[in-house]
Amino acid sequence: MEKQNIEWGKLGFGYVKTDMRYVSNFKDGAWDEGCLTGDDKVVISECAGVLQYSQSVFEGLKAYTTEDGSIVCFRPDLNASRMADSARRLEMPAFPEDRFVDAVKQVVLANESWVPPYGSGATLYIRPYMFGSNPVIGVKPADEYQFRIFVTPVGPYFKGGAKPITIKIADYDRAAPRGTGHIKAGLNYAMSLHAIVEAHKQGFAENLYPDSATRTKVEETGGANIIFIKGNKFITVGSPTILPSITRRSLEYVAEKYLGLEVEERTVMLSELGDFEEAGLCGTAAVISPVGKIVDGDKEICFPSGMEKMGPTIQKLYDTLTGIQMGRIEAPEGWIYKIK
Ligand code: PLP
Ligand code: COI
């Protein structure tokens, strides 16, 4: 298979139109059989539920070329079940989880020439999403939905790749108690746009949101969970109002079983940020991006790992996770879904 003529190593995290996408429609209470199409345009009513009341959910996962030349995905079953959870919270019909995984496979195979080669530094980002497509004017769920998946080759989410970033404690709130912070709904990202534009203008790479109720606890950033290292401990945030990151849950396993770290998933107070030795953001797009500094108003928390490179423990977590994804390190049962 001839690959696309792309400078893979120069890709950032952006959209590149690829050849094929998957589409399935929900109508009269059932999903149709779905198909691949070359048409990248979505045509829906001007009054579609998604356009009026933002009834949309999405997922993000990646396909990798492994050391032996196979093409694989990382734990797509967890994306399928999280998308079903997201859909239920927004009164949308869940797309069947086995069909989700099969559709991912179909789209990746149909765009094989766009899957970045092993060692190129790039990966194929897969974006499943669904939205209310029929007219809705009173506030209520749509009756018809479209589920789609497209793919796009990507490089690092944050400029500079593995260089530590500086983030700020957000001036805004992200997720209300009993709200939608734990699902992957477009609305959670729409409301973060003003905050991220302001943070970027101020020179920060991301916003770290505190809990909305008390603003005393660490939650997550706009597009990733946060992780910390203190001695032999791997500390992650346990909270019902953050997205249950598949990367973070995988890292908890890797930390304990592969690296012998003690794992603590718990409440993390803003006041203890200064106690940690290393910090990082983790997610499909971010992989693990080291955090060198957190700015909280006029206070700066500078991690001892510094601003030049990843701290040693986060580096080990990064190497092990990416080693598993790229086939260099044996994966736990069921983590690697072989596409080709
Ligand atoms: N938190 C938020 C708000 C996200 O958008 C993402 C990205 O998907 C994550 C965390 C990381 O989740 P995952 O590791 O499943 O990609
Ligand atoms: C991901 O990591 O997949 C995300 O969705 C984060 C961001 C691009 C929204």
Q: What is the spatial distance between Cα 88 and Cα 215, in angstroms, rounded to a whole number?
A: 28
pLDDT digits 0-9 by tens, 29-58:
999 999 999 999 999 999 999 999 999 999
Q: Over 80: is that where the pLDDT of 148 sits?
A: yes
Q: Over 90: is that where the pLDDT of 158 sits?
A: no
What is the domain partition of the chain in residue ranges?
8-154, 165-324
How many CA within 13 A on the CB side of residue 54? 9
Q: Judge whether 10 counts as a catalytic residue.
A: no
Is the shortest distance between the CB of 284 and ligand 1 below 6 Å? yes
User: What average pLDDT does range 140-152 have in this prediction?
Assistant: 98
- Helix (H) and strand (E) counts for the chain? 7, 18
Architecture of domain 8-154: 2-Layer Sandwich (3.30)
Query: Is the distance from CB of 45 to CB of 185 less than 8 angstroms?
Result: no
Q: How far is the CA of 43 from the centre of ligand 1 (A)?
A: 28
Is the shortest distance between the CB of 223 and ligand 2 below 6 Å? yes
Among all bound ligands, the one having the nearest atom to the CA of 285 is 2
CB contact set of 253 (below 8 Å; sequence gap of 6+): 332
Kind plus residue range of the DSSP H or E element containing 58: strand 56-58
Q: Over 80: is that where the pLDDT of 281 sits?
A: yes
Percent of the chain residues past pLDDT 90, beyond the cut: 98
Vertex 126: Cα angle to 317 and 72 (nearest 5): 60
Q: pLDDT at position 1, please?
A: 79
Question: What CATH number labels 165-324?
Answer: 3.20.10.10
User: What average pLDDT does range 212-221 have in this prediction?
Assistant: 98
Is the shortest distance between the CB of 313 and ligand 2 below 6 Å? no
User: What average pLDDT does range 262-285 have in this prediction?
Assistant: 97
Closest by CA to 224, choosing from 251, 206, 240, 199, is 206
pTM above 0.85, yes or no: yes
Same CATH topology for 8-154 and 165-324? no
How many CA within 13 A on the CB side of residue 256? 12
Pairing of strands 35-37, 21-27: antiparallel
Ligand 2 closest atom vs CA 157: 8
